[in-house]
Amino acid sequence: MSSLIGVRDLVVEFSSGVRAVRSVSLDLAPGERLALVGESGCGKTTTMLAMMGLLPAGATVSGQVLLDGKDILAGGEATMRPHRWSDIAMVFQGAMNALNPVRRVGAQIVEAVRIHGGSRQDGKLRAREVLDLVGLPKDTSSRYPHELSGGQRQRAVIALALACQPRILLADEPTTALDVIVQDQIVTLLRQLSDSLGLAVVLVTHDLALVPHLCDRAAVMYAGTIVESGPCADIVRRPRHPYTRRLVEATPDLAGRRPLTSIPGAPPRLDLPLTGCAFQPRCAEALESCAGSAPPLTDLGGGRTRACHLLEVTA
């Protein structure tokens, strides 16, 4: 598989001592759609921000972000900047706050194009194109964010991300504040854009139920590491890591036949060093040895990986 963007052994530590990402590696092929799933505070957003070079000053980052095989993380802002928005763009969490409230939508798109070397005229042309791409009426360009509904605002944020024709779109919880009907429309839009523009998409979400509707592959994160990955349908039907299993059991299904269960306990504190498997204190199946060493992410075949000491239960 030729990798468009790859993350290698990414570690992010904030100045507060919180180690939010503890060795994450992932690969994305052109046009591929990957879901990054996990509870709040497991490092999903931090991983995305690191890929964009947008972490706050004072955060220590190590590892590599490879774009077309070239490390763009090592050179800091100088190597990251030519690619930000032009190659990798992001749809930030909370469409309500991602737009500038005192500037018209069109002007914000023009601004993005001009910062990346286009002329004002290019910007206006591009604004018309991207608003059309995301299914917003032409006059949206002259509207202020407060004049748009939640769903329209989310579309405008996506249009803004598409301004410089990126190849990779990082979508951070793009539907969390929206109701199901609008959520469905946004997911459909992202799928269509990915298909028609050959856009690679990373969907960050805490909602496992959303994942099979958009993505090809899913990676489940826990306490700053990936604990399981594989094809979406596979992961949801036959989760092989106890944490993923508990997540599936906690997700309500429409049939309503399964009893819902919550996951006892809370994720570990990330400002303290972790010994052993991070999920072990909450894991019903944990053995004594699980507290001893952290399980490595191992290849299970069929495109699936898992980080768990337990023997596989073959049902």
Partner 1 sequence: MSLVAEDVLVRYGARRSVADALRRRPPQAVPAVDGVRLSLDKGTILALVGESGSGKSTLARCLVRMQQLAGGRVTADGVDLTALRGGQLKAFRRRVQMIFQDPYESLVPRQCVRDIVAEGLAIHGVPRAERDERVDAALAAVGLTPVESFLDRRPFELSGGQRQRVAIAGSLVLEPDYLIADEPVSMLDVSVRAGVLKLFDELRRTRELGILLITHDLATAVHVADHIAVMHRGRIVEQGPATQVTQSPAHSYTRALLAATPDLSFE
Interaction site with partner 1 (CB under 8 A):
39-40, 150, 178-184, 187, 206-210, 212-213, 233, 236, 246-248, 250-256, 260-263, 266
CB of residue 143 vs partner 1: minimum separation in angstroms?
16
**In sequence order, what are the beta bridge partners of 229?**
219, 305
**Least distance from partner 1 to the Cβ atom of residue 133, Å:** 22
Contacts 24+ apart (CB under 8 A), 143-147: 143/104, 143/105, 144/101, 144/102, 144/103, 144/104, 144/105, 145/99, 145/100, 145/101, 145/105, 146/101
**30, 4 contact by CB (below 8 A):** yes
- Any idea how long the chain is? 315
Shortest Å distance, C-beta 52 to partner 1: 24
**Least gap, CB of 208 to partner 1 (angstroms):** 7
- Looking at the Cβ atoms of 102 and 181, the one nearer to partner 1 is 181
Nearer to partner 1, 85 or 222 (CB): 222
111 vs 207, beta carbon nearer partner 1:
207
Q: Where are the alpha helices (DSSP H) in the chain?
A: 44-52, 77-80, 95-98, 105-115, 120-133, 150-161, 180-197, 232-237, 242-250
Q: Is residue 33 within 8 Å of 203, Cβ to Cβ?
A: yes
Map residue 10 onto helix, strand or coil: strand
What's at 248, amino acid-wise?
A: V
Spatial contact of 174 and 119, defined as CB atoms under 8 Å apart = no
